Amino acid sequence: MIRAMIYSLFLIISGIFSSTPSSAYYLTAHDFKFNDINGNELNLKDYKGKVILMVNVASRCGFTRQYEGLQAIWEQYKDKDFILLGVPSNDFYQELSTEEEVKNFCDLTFGVNFPMTKITPVRGKDAHPFYKWAKSTYGTKTVPKWNFYKLLIDKDGKVVDTYSSMTSPTDKKLILKIESLINS
């Protein structure tokens, strides 16, 4: 009986300190799907070989003016193996109620034409599976701290960097990183 308990404890401790990576480790961003703002499937595997900048966005946030910079980098790099993906989220209670309202606001106010998802949770227990994967694989640095938090993903589907809401989409360090990934 004691021997069985000791063996069970050994197995539990071995599992905790195991060097075997979780199954999430073997996934990449390309293994996830979203629904786009029009309700169509948006499959990240279609972006293999492209650099992806994912940004959780909100229409009523103090950082909403960043849509201008996002649209500018989209225009500059969209034909150069780059995808900008806006992920509207109401996790911080600053997004409009419907996808139609978000789409109209972004189009009429900022001329946004880069791909966007439907309104999607990006943190907590209800987070989209992509964001849960990013957190379990790359840690809490990938969890959006606020709206306009940026995740930069390389051509292989791995998160390579994160940028706070305070980082402008046209920030020189971000642009240089995007360019180096595009050219790699």
The whole-number pLDDT of residue 1 equals 55
Which sequence positions are flagged as catalytic?
A: 61
* CA–CA distance, 152 with 155 (Å, rounded to integer): 10
Band of residue 25 on the pLDDT scale cut at 50, 70, 90:
low
Radius of gyration of the chain (CA): 19
Angstrom distances, CA of residue 120 to CA of 15, 124, 183: 33, 12, 31
Percent of the chain with pLDDT over 70: 86
Name the amino acid, one letter, at 114.
F
Strand partners, 54: 85, 151
The whole-number pLDDT of residue 121 equals 97
Residue recorded with tokens 């650099």: 51
Q: Cα–chain-centroid distance for residue 46?
A: 15
Tokens of 139: 């840690």
The whole-number pLDDT of residue 182 equals 97
Question: Closest Cα partner for 116 from 100, 92, 132, 94?
Answer: 100
Taking 50 as the threshold, does the pLDDT of residue 5 lie above it?
A: no
Query: Cβ distance 150 to 53 under 8 Å?
Result: yes
Domains of the chain: 33-182 (3.40.30.10)
Query: Cβ distance 85 to 55 under 8 Å?
Result: yes
* Lowest model confidence (mean pLDDT) among 14-23, 55-64, 126-135, 137-146: 14-23
Query: Cβ distance 73 to 139 under 8 Å?
Result: no
pTM of the predicted model as reported, rounded to 2 decimal places: 0.84
